[in-house]
Structure 1
Amino acid sequence: MSRKSALRTLLPVVALLGMAALPAHAAPPTGGWIFDGGPDFPGFTRVQVHKDHGTYSGTVTSHWYGDLKMDDVRVDGDTLVFHLFNGNPRVTETDIVLKGDAKAVHMTGKLWYADFDIPAHAATKTALKALDFPTHPLPPRRVVKPLARAETPPMGWNSWNKFATDIDDKTVREIADAMVTSGLRDAGYVYINIDDGWQGARDTSGVLQPNAKFPDMKALADYVHAKGLKLGIYSSPGPKSCAGYEGSYGHIEQDARTFAAWGIDYLKYDLCSGEAFYHTPESVYAVYQQMAEAIAATRRPMIFSLCEYGRFDVGSWGRDVGGSLWRTTGDIEDKYETMAKIGFEKNGVPNHTGPGGWNDPDMLEVGNGGMSTDEYRTHMSLWAMMAAPLILGNDVRHMTPETLALLTNPEVIAIDQDAAGAQGLPAKKDGTREIWTKHLRDGSTAVGLFNRGEDVANVTVTWADLGLKPAKVRDVWAKSDLTPAATQTVTIPRHGAMLLRVTP
């Protein structure tokens, strides 16, 4: 055989030997692993990966969100890349990476606001099973009639905007005292609502206890009631509240009984971590219905405040789950831009509002220092025109006379609390200038004139264009009458407002 022929014969053999020597194509591992620690949020406990006919799938389990399904799974060599949806449609999902082998993996990425890089070790089926997240059935769809009915928009105070989770028994008592001595209670602000941060652990029977900052919730309620005020509290249908405290998941009826025993008059029920479990119209309805029925079973009247950020046209069904008010938007901030966007553009569907149920554009920021007096006057004017709940968010123990005057103007409050319950609407928009109208029970009309611009502006109103023929025009902020004229022009400062009551 020639040298050339021998070479041709040997080449295939060498090639085959070379291929056999190469490592097999790397692929992501399958199995189940338990995380070694990691951040409290999202509180991951385990990850499980399956491969079926070449397709990868899996779940990541969290203390906050239960079993989160891996979405948009793709393979990159020995790495698995996927997304996790926590139920919040406002959050952009980002890549999460799982890499390792059958014995150990690392998972890195971000869920909502939390970055993580955590290891996990392989576990037995028994160990993985022990980390199963409990599921609970939802009730069939029903309509709930509440024992408490809000004939006018609720008025009161809430701890969150000023104190967040830095709230305690002593502060709440001092707030109650200040509500009385300042005249706020007599102006109509009667609810003292403790927001997130009061919750402790559950006892061996599952009964939720307040944390050390609230040694005796029943005694606190008694104190507040003795002041002629009412006490509100906060919870979530999810395992965790927005700040990571204990939610009512799996304990709905039990928590309702606890709240009733304490003497609670108002419950703010915030979807929070529940959005991972309840993110369809049917499930969100059912979980709010479930708490409403639990409250009704206690026979204690409570105002039920639905906080699910305006999802699924909540105003169209909020009353059917016993709601007295329902959020129409995400959280407010003590910034003009945020407040104005909510007030001018996110004020809910008007025909949903009225006696017994109210669109809720979130709490007031007046007095917290992030806006000017003119901007806070716009804030109060908009909320009054919208027939919005007036829930204070400032430290009422320490208010300037200017802040107190904004919050207690009786003519402004009367427009908000008008028995007709109509929600005001824009009648004219001209660039940064807007004119709003709201029909009142006595036949008069509230008219809001707003300057959303960055400079002082003249706003002209022609009464005939609004269908009005005024006999009296009252400037309710100035508490003075204007001389009626067919057309009137007023000067309004940057980001300012004028609120009028026009009598035909």
Structure 2
Amino acid sequence: MMIGVALAAMCGPLAATADPLTPTGKWSANTDGSAPVPPMGWNSWNAFNSDVDEEKVLASAQALVDTRLRDIGYRYVNIDDGWWLKRRQPDGRLMIRTSHFPSAATGADTSFRPLTDRLHAMGLKAGIYSDIGRNSCGQIYTPDFKNQPEGSVAEREVGLYGHVDQDIALFFADWNFDFIKVDGCGARGLPADAPRVKSGLYRALTPLVDMQSLGGSDVAGIRRLYEQVHTALHTYAKDRPYVYSLCLWGAGDVRAWGKDVGNTSRTSDDIQPVWPRMLTNLDTVTHRALYAHPGSWNDPDMLFVGTGDFDAAHRTEARSHFSLWAMVNSPLIIGYDLRKLTPDLLAIFGNADIVALNQDPAGNQAVLAYESGEVQIFVKTLADGSKGVALFNRTASPAKAVLTAEQLKMLPTADVRLKDLWTKKDQSFRKEIAVTLAPHETLIFRATGTRRLPGGLYLSEQTGRVNPAVDGVVVPQPDPTIYQSITPWTGTRGGGEHPQYGGWGGAEADRAPYGKLLRVAGTDFDTGIGVLANSRLEVRNQGYARFAAKVGINDSGQPRSGTTVFEVWGDGRLLAKSRPMAFGDTAAPLEAKVAGVRIVELVARGSSAAAPQPAIWADAALLR
């Protein structure tokens, strides 16, 4: 049974309720700050660790200007760990290490304002680093690195904990920064039994995050700390653009809430300049396209192009790293010492066609059209209707791949035109095209053709407009599909890296939960949104008149596990509703008129709260 648009006349806007499935008619993902497209720029950490100083920062800034990287979007110049001297007592003001930043020696109160003013005069923006706890990552995990905070226990407590309003006001209202990266080490690494706590070097802070255990993390507690920073930014930087970057490495179930709090959210531990680690970091974002939107982006960490396995001697690997980060809408933050920039590396960072994929205003993270342990095909829909497409060989051997028009959601009977964004060569095909990928190679194209769905867009083509406000996950679990690389900080000591990054079972585009194919009662679908029951999706409607889908329980679910009712809401009013759908039922059409509606909400209400079924919005689309 389907209830049509006439139902809207009977149902007024709903009152506020504690039920998370109750539609609100609002977009709940973060829109504060200024990140309509992923931030681009440079950060000091990968090149210098904590040995950062004013000369290195300004030389890097000048390189962005001189090479014209600034002109294609690389505008943020971000100072990472190593800048602080101490927290002055008793007033708690942060003091800058003026031996390394001489322009900050402005009197008794040191100030970064001369440096940020200079960066702004260069047409750039300035970024600063802090930690959500009392102490920084460098103090806890790399104490042998240079430029650690000095002084008494209290003076060495340079993190935000207990000083959020004071520090955010200092960074933004006084020092005039535009970007802040907030690490999470201080909320993780100083339990009462830590050696440096027992020795009296630091005070204990009960850990809120356990990297190896989602169940061992205080998810609500760590979220509250990051929300305090969000609130302070809204207070002290509300009248100017800013970017708030969360660095919690995929821990603390940040997958589910980071998009609601910050402008970027780290999905993994630190990247390293080795191929396997790049695979790990990439895998933490590839199934999270629905968790990234204009204003809130997934962040698999900075670019390591120029170093190690991605240096100028490994051009194929460097190009792959850059291409993939662009496709998944990662912030494009260079981590290389730009004083050493070569023409070959500049040609990678400065590829304006690939940067344009990353900076496309539609804000759609690429979706996996094909996936194996050897080859992946990523497709993203661009604002003008064309497609970005990347064919990626993960292995050290050549690999054959076939790209089909269907994977691009284009008609196989019409020409599909491909522009290679590295070679700039054009070619075309119908139905499919075969390619051979060199080891570690990524072929990246801009594709145009005749759309399979005239007059509309599938929801999986507009991931930047679909927000899983409630994704139905009852017990957060680590994602076992993420590549388990050898971590450089432990090597092969211990038992190896185990799945630790949350996200298993969340909402997916063109997949059912847990990475399964879309199949309802034996019928396959190649497009749709898969999400667990007891979920609510928010969809921004850009002038479309009708919503249509086929709804049902994915065949990866369990028989005799209750039913799910699918509902379509528009701006808080019920528009259409399915009958209760059980495992094995044929997918049922569900349509609603949405002309004039700003926020369409798709609710799947399951009869079982403990074990929700995989609910499928197959062929889900907004139509003219």
Scaled by the length of structure 1, what TM-score is found? 0.69
Aligned residue runs from structure 1 range 177-196, under 5 A: 177-196=62-81
Other structure's SS at 1:370 match: helix
**Is 1:262 paired with 2:175?**
yes
Call closer, same or farther: CA 1:283–1:431 in 2, change over 3 Å: closer
1: distance between equivalents of 2:309 and 2:444?
A: 22
2: distance between equivalents of 1:271 and 1:345?
A: 18
Q: Which structure ranks higher in relative contact order (CA pairs < 8 Å, sequence separation ≥ 6)? A: 2
**Is 1:404 paired with 2:346?**
yes
Q: Which residue of 2 aligns with 1:98?
A: none
Residue in structure 2 matching 1:477, options 407, 422, 434: 422
2: distance between equivalents of 1:251 and 1:146?
A: 25
The aligned amino acid for 2:289 is: P
- Preserved contact between residue 378 and residue 391 of structure 2 (Cα < 8 Å): yes
**Is 1:278 paired with 2:220?**
no
2: distance between equivalents of 1:503 and 1:144?
A: 31
2: distance between equivalents of 1:432 and 1:442?
A: 31
Shift of 1:313: 3.4
Other structure's SS at 2:252 match: helix
**Is 1:325 paired with 2:264?**
yes
Shift of 1:285: 1.0
The aligned amino acid for 2:276 is: E
CA deviations over 1:119-173 (Å, ceiling 9, x no partner)? xxxxxxxxxxxxxxxxxxxxxxxx9977522100111110001110111011111
Aligned residue runs from structure 1 range 12-91, under 5 A: none
Residue in structure 1 matching 2:236, options 294, 298, 309: 298
Q: Which residue of 2 aligns with 1:394?
A: 336
- Preserved contact between residue 31 and residue 296 of structure 2 (Cα < 8 Å): no
CA deviations over 1:158-190 (Å, ceiling 9, x no partner)? 000111011101111111111100111011000
Other structure's SS at 1:384 match: helix
Structure 1 runs not aligned, ≥5 long:
1-142
Q: Which residue of 1 aligns with 2:225?
A: 287
Q: Which residue of 1 aligns with 2:247?
A: 307
Call closer, same or farther: CA 1:301–1:277 in 2, change over 3 Å: farther
Other structure's SS at 2:325 match: helix
Q: Which residue of 2 aligns with 1:499?
A: 444
2: distance between equivalents of 1:242 and 1:278?
A: 15
Call closer, same or farther: CA 1:173–1:439 in 2, change over 3 Å: same
Q: Which residue of 1 aligns with 2:495?
A: none
**Is 1:417 paired with 2:356?**
no
Shift of 1:355: 0.9
CA deviations over 1:434-455 (Å, ceiling 9, x no partner)? 2221111111111111111212
**Is 1:385 paired with 2:327?**
yes
The aligned amino acid for 2:432 is: T
2: distance between equivalents of 1:272 and 1:347?
A: 25
Call closer, same or farther: CA 1:230–1:313 in 2, change over 3 Å: same
Aligned residue runs from structure 1 range 52-131, under 5 A: none
Shift of 1:295: 2.1
Shift of 1:364: 0.4
Aligned residue runs from structure 1 range 330-369, under 5 A: 330-347=269-286, 349-369=288-308
Q: Which residue of 1 aligns with 2:579?
A: none
- Preserved contact between residue 146 and residue 296 of structure 1 (Cα < 8 Å): no
- RMSD of aligned alpha carbons: 1.9
Q: Which residue of 2 aligns with 1:149?
A: 34
Scaled by the length of structure 2, what TM-score is found? 0.56
- Preserved contact between residue 267 and residue 284 of structure 2 (Cα < 8 Å): no
CA deviations over 1:398-434 (Å, ceiling 9, x no partner)? 1111111111111101111111111112212355122
Residues matched between the structures, number: 361
Structure 1 range deviating more: 469-478 or 213-222: 469-478
Shift of 1:457: 2.5
Shift of 1:314: 2.0
- Preserved contact between residue 266 and residue 301 of structure 2 (Cα < 8 Å): yes
Residue in structure 1 matching 2:379, options 437, 443, 446: 437
- Preserved contact between residue 327 and residue 380 of structure 2 (Cα < 8 Å): yes
Higher helix share: 1
The aligned amino acid for 2:273 is: D
**Is 1:426 paired with 2:311?**
no
Q: Which residue of 2 aligns with 1:232?
A: 127
1: distance between equivalents of 2:61 and 2:169?
A: 24
- Preserved contact between residue 260 and residue 296 of structure 2 (Cα < 8 Å): no
- Preserved contact between residue 30 and residue 295 of structure 2 (Cα < 8 Å): no
The aligned amino acid for 1:257 is: A
- Preserved contact between residue 328 and residue 348 of structure 1 (Cα < 8 Å): no
2: distance between equivalents of 1:409 and 1:176?
A: 19
The aligned amino acid for 2:342 is: T
Shift of 1:287: 0.4
1: distance between equivalents of 2:273 and 2:29?
A: 35
Call closer, same or farther: CA 1:465–1:234 in 2, change over 3 Å: closer
Other structure's SS at 2:133 match: coil
1: distance between equivalents of 2:429 and 2:327?
A: 21
**Amino-acid identity (%):** 40
Call closer, same or farther: CA 1:348–1:262 in 2, change over 3 Å: farther
Shift of 1:319: 4.2
2: distance between equivalents of 1:318 and 1:461?
A: 34
Shift of 1:386: 0.5
The aligned amino acid for 2:346 is: L
Call closer, same or farther: CA 1:292–1:416 in 2, change over 3 Å: same
CA deviations over 1:26-58 (Å, ceiling 9, x no partner)? xxxxxxxxxxxxxxxxxxxxxxxxxxxxxxxxx
Other structure's SS at 1:397 match: helix
- Preserved contact between residue 194 and residue 233 of structure 1 (Cα < 8 Å): yes
Other structure's SS at 2:402 match: strand
Q: Which residue of 1 aligns with 2:58?
A: 173
Residue in structure 2 matching 1:218, options 104, 107, 113: 113
Call closer, same or farther: CA 1:483–1:319 in 2, change over 3 Å: closer
2: distance between equivalents of 1:198 and 1:465?
A: 48
**Is 1:486 paired with 2:431?**
yes
Shift of 1:458: 2.7
Call closer, same or farther: CA 1:346–1:387 in 2, change over 3 Å: closer
1: distance between equivalents of 2:360 and 2:287?
A: 18
Q: Which residue of 2 aligns with 1:162?
A: 47
Q: Which residue of 2 aligns with 1:126?
A: none
- Preserved contact between residue 309 and residue 317 of structure 2 (Cα < 8 Å): no
2: distance between equivalents of 1:471 and 1:410?
A: 22
CA deviations over 1:284-319 (Å, ceiling 9, x no partner)? 111011112222221354210001111233243224
1: distance between equivalents of 2:357 and 2:316?
A: 19
Rg larger in structure: 1
Q: Which residue of 1 aligns with 2:473?
A: none
Other structure's SS at 2:379 match: strand
Shift of 1:346: 4.2
The aligned amino acid for 1:173 is: L
Shift of 1:362: 0.6
2: distance between equivalents of 1:497 and 1:399?
A: 23
2: distance between equivalents of 1:421 and 1:219?
A: 34
